[in-house]
């Protein structure tokens, strides 16, 4: 039995898509998976409704590559399609052998993450210095940039950060028990200048409990008890534009944190722990590191 997506009733297809989405914990991933699956469905219809099999998915992968999609985007969409095929097979709409064939479609190899932007040390310092420290909003925004550059947090993590997360352990300040992507819990050390930026904002805003970052009314007073991840993105975009860093995104500051730490001599394992990566392989891809077969670790053992 070789199912065509078009032969699956629209309500059943939607139900299968939501079965795929129900297995995801991240709201951002759910949005990306749903868009990817609906785009695939639209392409499938335009191609004359070929069967859902390995060859069809391989062809779609080629289309995505030729359209200029990044390896990470292509791989995410392929993962969503594999899950769709598995759910279709589990619901009797696709032969298990065909679903297994779709599962064997390989992703696209990538070196590091998509180029994007990352800042040099001087550029990062310029960005940190760009908010106006004479205004309450400037102090808040400087603290936001400090947390992103000094701790490598995601924008959703910045929005969810509370004063209770910030604790002192073994003589230094940390963000403890931070719940990140995949519900992984980690502890992130922060530099003294980052803590100072938070303290200055906290003192000026007269806040010491709950969410660290709050919305501010255009008149200059705190108007809420939190900020959204999108608001964090807007802060980065605003000051990035003011500094002339075109298309600077919130995630670029996380990348900058990792790049500067690595250039400064920090161990990859420690960078990965701070970033909350699931494995050292993820961190290596993130930094775009290749194995050096000319100057290998075994050459530096000092043994004869």
Give a three-class secondary structure readout of 146-207. HHHHHHCCCHHHHHHCEHHHEEEECCEEEEEEEECHHHCEEEEECCHHHHHHHHHHHHHHCC
pLDDT value for 130:
97
pLDDT value for 113:
46
pLDDT value for 292:
60
What are the structure tokens assigned to 236, written together? 């980065």
What are the structure tokens assigned to 115, written together? 């180029």
Q: Cα–Cα distance between 59 and 102 in angstroms, integer?
A: 11
The set of residues, in sequence order, having a beta carbon less than 8 Å from that of 5 and lying 6+ positions away, is 13, 41, 44, 45, 49, 52
Residue 52: how many CB atoms within 10 A of its CB? 28
User: Which residue, among 121, 149, 176, has the nearest Cα to 236 in the 3D structure?
Assistant: 149
Specify whether the CB–CB gap between 140 and 222 falls below 8 A: no
Q: What are the extents of the domains in the chain?
A: 5-103, 121-287
Specify whether the CB–CB gap between 243 and 113 falls below 8 A: no
User: Is-same-fold flag (5-103; 121-287)?
Assistant: no
CA 125 to chain centroid: 23
- Domain 5-103 in CATH 1.10.150.130? The answer is yes
Q: Cα–Cα distance between 79 and 7 in angstroms, integer?
A: 22
The set of residues, in sequence order, having a beta carbon less than 8 Å from that of 91 and lying 6+ positions away, is 12, 16
Three-state SS at 33? helix
Question: What spatial distance separates the first Cα and last Cα of the chain, rounded to whole Å?
Answer: 64
Q: Cα–Cα distance between 295 and 205 in angstroms, integer?
A: 52
pLDDT value for 92:
82
Cα dihedral angle (170, 173, 179, 182), rounded to 10 degrees? -80
Q: Cα–Cα distance between 254 and 244 in angstroms, integer?
A: 19
CA 217 to chain centroid: 29
- Domain 121-287 in CATH 1.10.10.60? The answer is no
Specify whether the CB–CB gap between 285 and 112 falls below 8 A: yes
User: Which residue, among 284, 303, 295, has the nearest Cα to 110 in the 3D structure?
Assistant: 284
pLDDT tens string for the chain (304 positions)?
555 564 555 555 677 788 888 877 777 788 888 998 989 988 988 888 777 889 999 999 999 999 888 888 899 999 999 998 888 888 887 889 988 999 999 988 765 444 457 899 999 999 999 999 999 999 999 999 999 999 999 999 999 999 999 999 988 999 999 998 878 899 999 999 999 999 999 999 999 999 999 999 989 999 999 999 999 999 999 999 999 987 899 999 999 999 999 889 888 889 998 998 888 888 887 787 765 656 656 566 565 5
Q: Cα–Cα distance between 81 and 25 in angstroms, integer?
A: 18
């Amino acid at each position: 039995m070789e199912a065509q997506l078009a032969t699956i009733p629209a309500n059943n297809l939607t139900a299968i898509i939501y079965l795929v989405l129900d297995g995801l914990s991240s709201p951002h991933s759910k949005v990306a998976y749903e868009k990817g699956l609906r785009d695939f469905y639209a392409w499938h219809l335009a191609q004359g409704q070929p069967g859902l099999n390995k060859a069809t998915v391989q062809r779609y992968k080629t289309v995505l590559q030729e359209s200029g999609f990044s390896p990470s985007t292509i791989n995410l969409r392929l993962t969503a399609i594999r899950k769709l095929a598995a759910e279709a097979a589990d619901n009797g709409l696709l032969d298990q052998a065909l679903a297994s064939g779709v599962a064997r479609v390989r992703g696209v190899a990538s070196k590091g993450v998509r180029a994007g932007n990352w800042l040099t040390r001087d550029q990062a310092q310029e960005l940190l210095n760009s908010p106006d420290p004479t205004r309450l909003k400037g102090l808040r925004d400087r603290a936001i940039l400090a947390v992103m550059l000094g701790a490598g947090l995601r924008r959703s993590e910045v929005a969810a950060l509370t004063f209770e997360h910030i604790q002192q352990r073994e003589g230094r300040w940390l963000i403890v028990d931070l719940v990140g992507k995949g519900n992984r819990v980690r502890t992130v050390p922060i530099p003294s200048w980052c803590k100072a930026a938070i303290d200055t904002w906290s003192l000026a805003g007269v806040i010491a409990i709950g969410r660290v970052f709050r919305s501010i009314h255009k008149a200059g007073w705190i108007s809420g008890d939190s900020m959204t991840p999108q608001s964090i993105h807007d802060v980065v975009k605003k000051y990035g534009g003011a500094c002339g860093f075109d298309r600077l995104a919130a995630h670029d500051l996380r990348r900058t944190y990792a790049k500067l730490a690595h250039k400064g001599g920090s161990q990859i394992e420690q960078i990965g722990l701070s970033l909350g990566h699931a494995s050292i392989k993820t961190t290596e891809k993130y930094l775009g590191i290749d194995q050096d077969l000319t100057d290998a670790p075994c050459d530096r053992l000092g043994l004869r």
